Structure 1
Amino acid sequence: MPSEAALLTYRDVVRLEWVDYNGHLRDAFYLLLFSLAGDVLLDAIGLDDAQRRARHRSVYTLEAHVNYLHEIKEGARVLVNVRVLDNDAKRLHIYLDMLVDGRAEPVAACEQMLLHVDTDGPRAAPFDPDVLERVGELVRAHAVLPPPRYAGRVIGLRSR
């Protein structure tokens, strides 16, 4: 497992209203937890709520791929680790994994492509230099971690 200190993290607890008829966290709420963890990333790169408003900038999700690996139940303590795999002038390629109650293996993983936008448009916009510098620092810090296990997966059925 990568060093927790090198990763951005988000913590929460599975709430009753997030649980389905099987007693498990509903699939949509896995994505909610990943989305909330993404806010930790925005704060870390200098795009917290106040800065998003002041700069008229935000980040939109272009694509997300979720791997549901193990069911979790109400009351489970959740930890989501956030990694920045790569970036360019306008996009972030991120990877998130969700751990529960000290379990060593993730219960879910999510890979996302995010787009930096000028909210006055809205339209794609390059990151401001200070934000881009922070993104680069995260990419370099996270590059030394082991490759993310569920990144780059493709959905499909094998041809017969």
Structure 2
Amino acid sequence: MSNNDVASVHQLRSAYEGQKAGSFDLNATIATPLELHQCTVKPEWVDYNQHMSESCYLLVFGDNSDAFFRYFGIDDDYRSGGHSIYTVETHIRNLREVALGEPLRLTLRLLDFDHKRLHIFHEMWHAQSNTLLATGEQLLMHVDMQAGRAASFPFELQTRLEVIRTAHSREPRPVDAGRAIAINHRRPT
């Protein structure tokens, strides 16, 4: 099997590949948080413990990010122009197990952005019980793929992101945002 055959067999695809970005109305009400993605736990996402594998939490959060990208204007046509968004850092908190066939509802908040970076916060909810299953926090970078380095968002996208950030900043910051990973060594009392 050639490298091209292997790549085509194992290529990971977003649920949103091929979908166009919608039109963005700068005067429309922006939901806080945004609810752009729903899915059901697939058989290939379930591991030997009979619940969704940890790597699949990131897969679902990635699809939620892709839905957000289309929301504010980045789609396959945009990427074909040589720019995309890459992940710089991700922090996932797995709070509850979820099993095969269970429905998921994802939310997303834009915590911050600058001319090259996005800071977003995902929440994964059980769509029927409304139980919080996981959170994901990401720092993302807008990239010029030909140059292989960070690049500024076009002014039009920065304007849209500012509208979203302004709406999302009206609500309190999620409690779990900005958490660090550490073992808290308490001294016996």
- Offset, 1:158: 1.9
**Structure 2: segments with no counterpart, 5+ residues:** 1-29
Q: Determine if the alignment matches structure 1 residue 29 to structure 2 residue 56.
A: yes
Query: Deviating runs (4+, > 3 A) in structure 1?
Result: none
CA contact (8 A) 2:35 2:105 kept: no
Could you list the per-position Cα deviations for residues 16-42 of structure 1 after superposition, in whole angstroms to 9, with x for gaps in the alignment?
111011111000000000000000111
Could you list the per-position Cα deviations for residues 70-125 of structure 1 after superposition, in whole angstroms to 9, with x for gaps in the alignment?
00000011111111000111000000000013333310000000000011121100
Aligned to 1:98: 124
Once residues 101 and 130 of structure 1 are traced to their aligned partners in structure 2, the CA distance between those partners, rounded to angstroms, is 34
Letter in 1 for 2:171: L
Aligned to 1:14: 41
Letter in 1 for 2:67: V
Q: TM-score, normalised by structure 2?
A: 0.78
- Offset, 1:149: 2.5
Once residues 78 and 35 of structure 2 are traced to their aligned partners in structure 1, the CA distance between those partners, rounded to angstroms, is 19
Aligned to 1:141: 167
Q: Determine if the alignment matches structure 1 residue 124 to structure 2 residue 150.
A: yes
Letter in 2 for 1:143: S
Q: Percent identity?
A: 37
Q: Secondary structure at the match of 1:156?
A: coil
The equivalences for 1:59-138 within 5 A come to 59-138=85-164
Letter in 2 for 1:122: G
- Offset, 1:137: 1.0
CA contact (8 A) 2:92 2:137 kept: yes
Once residues 72 and 48 of structure 2 are traced to their aligned partners in structure 1, the CA distance between those partners, rounded to angstroms, is 39
Query: Greater Rg, structure 1 or structure 2?
Result: 2
Give the total of aligned pairs.
Answer: 156
Letter in 2 for 1:11: Q
Q: Secondary structure at the match of 1:130?
A: helix
CA contact (8 A) 1:8 1:41 kept: no
User: Cα RMSD between the aligned structures?
Assistant: 1.4
The equivalences for 1:40-55 within 5 A come to 40-54=67-81
CA contact (8 A) 1:25 1:71 kept: yes
